[in-house]
Amino acid sequence: MPWIKRDLCTGCQLCVDACSAGVIVMEEDTAIINEDACIRCGVCHDVCPEEAVRHDGERIPDEVQANLDWIKTLLAHDYYANDKAKQKQLIERLGKYYTKNKKVIEKTSEQLEMLINEEYTE
């Protein structure tokens, strides 16, 4: 999923003009991508002279940290605070939750490979 690294964006608007889906707008002289509406065509990556349009893989450390921050917030809730057994149960449930998400992603990736091989191979 493309996103704009704000400190690299010069506000040239090339990505706005080139966006195939019309989902990039300017906000305070910086391009912003509506991630929900983005069709992932990659045109914005190609036209940005400053490489401000970034790939979502760069966000992995930030997303992991956000997950950990959320988990710490849950662990600090009155229900869990000062109860190691409840905290351990929560961590185990969250481990299952993230394992399930990993499986969904793996299965989706497998299906994408099959789709490519079946539909788009000449």
Question: Mind listing the pLDDT tens digit for each residue in 11-65?
Answer: 999 999 999 999 999 999 999 999 999 999 999 999 999 999 999 899 999 999 9
Sign of CA dihedral 45, 48, 49, 50: negative
In DSSP terms, 32 is beta-bridged to 25
pTM (2 d.p.): 0.73
Is the pLDDT assigned to residue 119 strictly greater than 80? no
Could you give the domains of the chain? Answer: 3-54 (3.30.70.20), 59-119 (no CATH)
State the distance between the two ends of the chain, measured CA to CA, in whole angstroms.
Answer: 27
Sign of CA dihedral 121, 20, 34, 2: positive
